[in-house]
A = this chain, B = another copy of it.
Amino acid sequence: MKDENSNVNLLLGKSRKKIDAIDEKIVALLSERQGIVENVIEIKQANNLPVFHPAREEDLISKRRLQAEALGLDPNFLEDIYRTIIRRSRVEQSATMATQGVRSGAVVLIVGGKGHMGRYFADCFTDAGYEVRILGREDWHDVDRLCAGVDLAILSVPIDQTPAIAHKLAPHLSADAVLSDLTSIKEAPVKAMMEAHSGPVVGIHPLFGSTTSTLDKQIIVATPGRDESACQWVLDQFTSWGSILLTSDAREHDEIMNIVQALRHFATFAFGRFLSQKRANLSRTLEFSSPIYRLELGMVGRLFAQDPSMYYEIIAASSERLELLKEYLVSMEESIEIIEKGDKSDFQDEFQNIARWFGPFSDQAMRESTYMINKLIERF
């Protein structure tokens, strides 16, 4: 039995190596293919020829389908693959096209433009034809030159430094420049910007990280400060990038974010921390995981692949947030007491009350997440 097993493993190992070798060749060919496609796009653009060529695409698909059939491969499968490849070529093509900005040529100053988010938005504005300047930690000696003619100044610095930097920067801006920030709390930063700057002010909170590939369908919260009409073009710019723009006052924004960001991130951090304390056998755990647990554990693992300083800033952004965490701890203690009492019907009553509070969202969540889980199973 042992021999038979090792024989089987040997066979499977060999097959795996063969598959890996084939896959390596496929990827190399795809890379070679992309080089040629890029070349074609260049030639076409230089000669003002249309880059898409539906007829050529259909022709290509037909050829591959025929070849697949001849080789005993499912032609629909091949078509799936080639649609993905062709869609990719199109993305390449669109990427090389100019996306005209709402106020191209305007001057955008990004303070802290060397951090992740700063660099991210610097690229966005540059690609849209703006003149982008970066004011990093070491550039303050040059602040007057950097601020000359600035139409929009964006503070992309740690939360706790935002008010001070607003005060430091504002005197160098002209009165009609828009002053804005990207921090994930809005009360203190917007207040500071209003005090420091006499011109237009709008707080911005992009609800996504710098790993996002495009701004399309990403949510951005705007907290109006002063002179909304003078700030409008900035918001229009985000909208034209495809972002979904929400408006909220600073108070409401911060209350919601206390829960959506601070509490949630803290809970995730604390869960990950406990797992590491328990030295749980992660890989064995994953083998035993339903897709939903894999997804949940993925949410925890995901946090620890990111920037600790950003998470600290979000969780510890205000004394209010710390109070919330303490309330959460007390509530959790009560939850454990409910379990410890060992009265199933008490637990069920409590559970039903919470379910009632969640209301129709529970069923919706059940539906949505079931859909997601099925996608997960399909894909992975």
In the complex with contacts A19-B33, A80-B84, A299-B369, A273-B27 CB distance below 8 A = no
Contacts of A298 in B (CB 8 A): 365, 368-369, 372
The answer to whether B27 touches A68, judged by C-beta atoms less than 8 angstroms apart, is yes
Q: Is A148 among interface residues, defined by CB-CB distance under 8 A?
A: no
Looking at the complex, which of A104-112, A121-129, A350-358 is the stretch in contact with chain B? A350-358
In the complex, chain A residues 219-278 whose Cβ is within 8 Å of any chain B Cβ: 219, 221, 246, 248, 252-253, 256-257, 259-261, 263-264, 266-267, 269-278
Complex CA–CA separation, A18 to B35 (angstroms): 11
In the complex, chain A residues 328-376 whose Cβ is within 8 Å of any chain B Cβ: 328-329, 331-333, 335-336, 339-340, 342, 344, 347-348, 350-355, 357-359, 361-366, 368-372, 374-376
The answer to whether B270 touches A335, judged by C-beta atoms less than 8 angstroms apart, is yes
Q: Is A150 among interface residues, defined by CB-CB distance under 8 A?
A: no
Q: Is A207 among interface residues, defined by CB-CB distance under 8 A?
A: yes
In the complex, chain A residues 54-97 whose Cβ is within 8 Å of any chain B Cβ: 54-58, 60, 63-64, 67-68, 71-74, 76-78, 80-85, 87-88
Complex CA–CA separation, A335 to B274 (angstroms): 9
Give the shortest distance, in Å, between A92 (CB) and chain B (any CB): 9
Q: Is A175 among interface residues, defined by CB-CB distance under 8 A?
A: no
The answer to whether A308 touches B267, judged by C-beta atoms less than 8 angstroms apart, is no
The answer to whether B302 touches A369, judged by C-beta atoms less than 8 angstroms apart, is yes
Give the shortest distance, in Å, between A347 (CB) and chain B (any CB): 5
Contact with B along A280-318 (1 / 0, CB 8 A): 111111111110110111111110111011011001100
Count residues on chain A whose CB falls below 8 Å from chain B CBs.
Answer: 162
The answer to whether A56 touches B16, judged by C-beta atoms less than 8 angstroms apart, is yes
Complex CA–CA separation, A243 to B16 (angstroms): 22
The answer to whether A43 touches B290, judged by C-beta atoms less than 8 angstroms apart, is no
Give the shortest distance, in Å, between A271 (CB) and chain B (any CB): 6
Q: Is A49 among interface residues, defined by CB-CB distance under 8 A?
A: yes
Q: Is A377 among interface residues, defined by CB-CB distance under 8 A?
A: yes
The answer to whether B339 touches A315, judged by C-beta atoms less than 8 angstroms apart, is yes
Q: Is A25 among interface residues, defined by CB-CB distance under 8 A?
A: yes
Residue of B nearest to A160 (CB): B344
Known: A27-B64, A257-B288. 20 other contacts (CB 8 A): A8-B47, A15-B39, A18-B36, A20-B63, A24-B67, A26-B26, A31-B72, A54-B380, A81-B81, A219-B289, A260-B288, A270-B331, A295-B372, A296-B299, A301-B366, A305-B363, A308-B351, A311-B351, A316-B342, A322-B340
18 residue pairs of the A-B complex, CB under 8 angstroms, read A23-B60, A25-B25, A29-B29, A30-B73, A80-B84, A207-B289, A218-B377, A248-B288, A252-B284, A259-B285, A273-B331, A273-B350, A276-B358, A282-B358, A283-B361, A302-B366, A308-B351, A326-B336
